[in-house]
Amino acid sequence: MKRHLTLLICMMFLCQWMHAEDGSLLWLRQKGTAATSITSNKTTQTTSIAVNELKNAWKGLPVSLIIKKNKSLCKEGFMIEKKDGNIIVSSPTDKGILYGAYHLLRLQASNPDFKTTLPIIENPTYSLRLLNHWDNLDGTIERGYAGQSLWQWDELPETLSPRYETYARANASIGINGTVLNNVNASPQILSGPYLQKVKALADLFRPYGIRVYLSANFASPMVLGQLDTADPLNKQVIRWWKNKVKEIYQLIPDFGGFLVKANSEGQPGPCDFGRTHAEGANMLADALKPYKGIVMWRAFVYSPNDADRAKQAYQEFKPLDGMFRDNVIIQTKNGPVDFQPREPYSPLFTAIEHTDQMVELQVTQEYLGHSNHIAYLAPMWKEFFEFVPATTLKAIAGVANIGTDINWCGHPFAQSNWYAFGRLAWNPSLTSEEIADEWLKQTFSSKEEFLSPAKQIMLQSHEAVVDYMMPMGLHHLFAWGHHYGPEPWCAIPGARPDWMPSYYHKADAQGIGFDRSSKGSNAVAQYPTALAEKYNQLDTCPEEYILWFHHVAWNHPMKNGQSLWNNLCRHYDRGVQQVRLFQKLWDQTEKYVDEERFYEIQSSLKTQMRDAIWWKDACLLYFQTFSKMPFPTDMERPIHRLDDLKKVNLGISNYECPDEELLNRNR
């Protein structure tokens, strides 16, 4: 009897453990009830996946999947309609069928009335919707906050982790159709024979999910792997080396997507090392890829250490090259002109380049937004970008992934929403942030209004809150040296690049604060189309959210609300902190509707976010006060720290003691 009881208790524990909510299911949680008829008119690996997904999760009418031509659909588009008591999902391709099946499941989970909205026609806005993994071959991830790299290079190609398939499913479910497997700071080894075998194994696995594989290429690969004494893009041997390499890749991976290249940026090799231009470098690779329909995504993230205003440099380097690139080259530019800051104006390259295909690089991983500790739902930030850069001017879209080996994939349960939102916006940038949040919450947590309302409020206000407590009003790059997590506006490392120091960006002095990029300053405003340039150029017409990006503003300058700049700055920081307090209360309201594990995990990470928000506010305001010499508004929450103490904070990931200047400048 006693033994039976012990067994029963053990089994109960085991069941509980098995059902413990660890976030690993992402937004793919639906389960079907009855065996509904799901048929398809053709069978491919891809349609079989679609059939299985529906068999496992669909609860409604019989579904027929039909591959057929339809003039209103592009290759990956699909139509969902109701006919004679059936749901028909049709598309010209099996990929479109798969997307249609996932869409049907999404509708089932997020819109109980969706049948009244049929027929639905969906075509993706961008034909290339890519994740960029900044994963290194040693398993680490540059700016990754969710564990190690998913790719188990040591085990590949023989062993395939089951997570690869879940990764592919998750991507396909939101329409992502390409993945760059390795870091833009690329090891040449990725192009070596043994590694290409490993890449092939992943490509084979991802193919039925409609996902193509791409690689980041190190421009010096012919020297490192091919023992050539140059990587000059005009050198015949170099050209031959790349042609052979590309041929080797396509023999293994016939649908290989192409290369992503970070060249002559932050110490990476590139054509400029050999007196050639970015266009000459990109074109040489493009020519090698062309016979196989491969592409080159050439990054415009360049800035040299000496030049005046870092925000101007990508434009200065790439605008004169417009029109000189082959038609299978796409210039890949970050959304803002500096570097994924909490808020930046859009990069003026997007409206300046006219004769070359362009794509935007967004950062899903929260390098500058609290890593995986803070809730920062990024759809609102990305939507801001699309207000300035019409979706149709872009050929493709890429997102720097936030995915790692953590059981919940992204570190923070809410960070999954950024992976999700990236995919959904890449498919359709006109979806609203709220629609995407709503879909994601319903699929990931619960459809109960009592849950949705507070959770959605947190999500929709979260990005602005982070901007407020970190870098409001156009401030940028106030981050601590090395880790890009905490504040260090005072940071000054002797001998380090000036454009890696916060003071280069905030320029706080006795008069005021902010970077003068007006026509009286660096004149970065001139890189924008005339109407915008004029608007940004004048202090009184420049939007307040960018004011310190474009102007050096006097501390006592009266802002639109009649109060001084200093008071406004204080109010923003304070508002950020108050918002996180509000998020804590809102999250507590959801307790009844969320599983214990995720409820407490998020509750606890909000405590960290609260602590960090106060840290940011106190550090920035106490430091800037040493210049403004103005008092805090009386109704603002007082700092709880002393500046001297904050200056001593060291998260143990900085390079303060690094004596080697080159290393110092590379590890930033």
Residues assigned a catalytic role: 266, 339, 367
Element (H, E) at 645: helix 643-648
The reply on whether position 204 binds ligand BDP by CB under 6 A is: no
Q: Looking at 21, 273, 322, 339, which residue binds ligand BDP (CB under 6 A)?
A: 339
Residue 127 or 316: the one with the smaller Cβ distance to ligand BDP is: 316
The reply on whether position 185 binds ligand BDP by CB under 6 A is: yes
Binding footprint of ligand BDP, residue count (CB under 6 A): 10
Residue 142 or 384: the one with the smaller Cβ distance to ligand BDP is: 142
For the CB of residue 184, give the shortest distance to ligand BDP in the complex, in Å. Answer: 5
- Residues 6+ positions from 225 with CB-CB distance below 8 Å: 188, 189, 191, 192
* Contact of 38 with 54, CB cutoff 8 Å: yes
How many other C-beta atoms lie within 10 A of the C-beta of residue 665? 18
Contact letters (x/-) for ligand BDP, 134-163, by CB under 6 A?
A: --------xx--------------------
For the CB of residue 301, give the shortest distance to ligand BDP in the complex, in Å. Answer: 5
For the CB of residue 190, give the shortest distance to ligand BDP in the complex, in Å. Answer: 16
Element (H, E) at 537: helix 530-537
For the CB of residue 268, give the shortest distance to ligand BDP in the complex, in Å. Answer: 8
Residue 334 or 598: the one with the smaller Cβ distance to ligand BDP is: 334
For the CB of residue 340, give the shortest distance to ligand BDP in the complex, in Å. Answer: 5
Residue 8 or 653: the one with the smaller Cβ distance to ligand BDP is: 653
Q: Which residue is nearest to ligand BDP (CB)?
A: 339
Residue 480 or 614: the one with the smaller Cβ distance to ligand BDP is: 480
Of residues 614 through 643, those in contact with ligand BDP by CB under 6 A are none
Distance CA 150, CA 140 (A): 10
For the CB of residue 186, give the shortest distance to ligand BDP in the complex, in Å. Answer: 10
Distance CA 526, CA 204 (A): 48
Question: For residue 605, what are the CA distances in angstroms to 8, 21, 601, 620, 652?
Answer: 35, 17, 6, 22, 20
Q: Looking at 262, 278, 383, 463, which residue binds ligand BDP (CB under 6 A)?
A: 262
The reply on whether position 340 binds ligand BDP by CB under 6 A is: yes
- Residues 6+ positions from 551 with CB-CB distance below 8 Å: 514, 515, 516, 517, 518, 521, 539, 542
The reply on whether position 451 binds ligand BDP by CB under 6 A is: no
* Contact of 310 with 505, CB cutoff 8 Å: no
Distance CA 481, CA 135 (A): 22
* Residue-wise DSSP of 365-403: S-TTTTTTTS----HHHHHHHHHHS-GGG-SEEEEE---
Residue 268 or 373: the one with the smaller Cβ distance to ligand BDP is: 268
- Tell me which DSSP letter residue 360 carries: E
* Contact of 378 with 313, CB cutoff 8 Å: no
* Side-chain-side CA neighbours of residue 350 (13 Å): 25
Residue 210 or 342: the one with the smaller Cβ distance to ligand BDP is: 342
The reply on whether position 477 binds ligand BDP by CB under 6 A is: no
Of residues 349 through 368, those in contact with ligand BDP by CB under 6 A are 367
Q: Looking at 184, 284, 398, 441, which residue binds ligand BDP (CB under 6 A)?
A: 184
The reply on whether position 301 binds ligand BDP by CB under 6 A is: yes
* Contact of 555 with 628, CB cutoff 8 Å: yes
* Contact of 114 with 107, CB cutoff 8 Å: yes
Query: Of all residues in the chain, what percent are helix, strand and coil, respectively (each to 5)?
Result: 45, 10, 45
Residue 106 or 143: the one with the smaller Cβ distance to ligand BDP is: 143
For the CB of residue 24, give the shortest distance to ligand BDP in the complex, in Å. Answer: 27
For the CB of residue 312, give the shortest distance to ligand BDP in the complex, in Å. Answer: 17
The reply on whether position 260 binds ligand BDP by CB under 6 A is: no
Question: For residue 319, what are the CA distances in angstroms to 145, 264, 524?
Answer: 35, 16, 14
Contact letters (x/-) for ligand BDP, 65-104, by CB under 6 A?
A: ----------------------------------------
For the CB of residue 299, give the shortest distance to ligand BDP in the complex, in Å. Answer: 7
- Residues 6+ positions from 63 with CB-CB distance below 8 Å: 36, 37, 38, 39, 54, 86, 87, 88, 89, 101, 104
Residue 467 or 569: the one with the smaller Cβ distance to ligand BDP is: 467
Nearest alpha carbon to residue 333 among 281, 396, 381: 396
**Where do contacts with ligand BDP occur on this chain (CB under 6 A)?**
142-143, 184-185, 262, 266, 301, 339-340, 367
